[in-house]
Amino acid sequence: MLPQAYNFLASTSVIPVMVIEREADAIPMAEALVAGGIKVLEITLRTPCALAAIKAISEAVPDAHVGAGTVCNGDDFSAAVDAGARFIVSPGQSDALFDKSITSNTPLLPGAVTATEVMRAAEAGFKVLKFFPASTSGGAAAIKAFSGPFSSISFVPTGGIGPKNLLEYLQLPNVQAAGGSWMLPKDKVQSGDWHAVTQLSREASELSKIKESIQ
């Protein structure tokens, strides 16, 4: 069972990893994803306009549940929450991130790909962890192996995941959702082909229903 703070994950099995290069793309990109059935959005703090994009989407797309990704320190955590992020995703973990999550009551998905990292995050009270980069850290097989010693931990893998291997991850009971950017091809985003993004999102949503049938 998901901890209450992470109930938003119960509504999705696919989370788009959004790298927004142009602030003007933020709202139409989010609207295209939501139209395709994907409402939990992770906007990475990899570009200068990322915080502005989080703010714009939070205010203009009410059906979107907006979070921030690639959050690596306490200052970025605070800035993302101030911009409107309702959850935080990090490729790693630190005491500063743990403290920010606890004091702000903002859900954090800290990164963990080793048993030691999983144990450390679990001891700090975190039960849903990011598994990144998935494809080079053992993939679905590694996450499956974690289900033995860490039966109460769920994972959200990202990195190297797409339509061809998505189901390998979603069929695992300890995978809550999987993230990726395949529904946001760079050429479609650059040309503003939001119809194509919606179609790819709809296809991803259909694939994700496999997870619902397993559960």
- Give catalytic residues, as residue numbers: 42, 130
Among 127, 183, 135, 182, residue whose Cα is nearest residue 155: 127
3-class secondary-structure state, position 163:
coil
Quote the CA–CA distance of 164 and 37 in Å, as a whole number.
20
Asked if residues 184 and 201 have their Cβ atoms less than 8 Å apart, the reply is no
Cβ neighbours of 4 (radius 10 Å): 7
Is the preceding peptide bond at 91 cis, omega within 30 degrees of 0? no
| Burial environment of residue 82 by CB neighbours within 10 A (0 to 12, 13 to 18, 19 or more) | exposed
3-class secondary-structure state, position 67:
strand
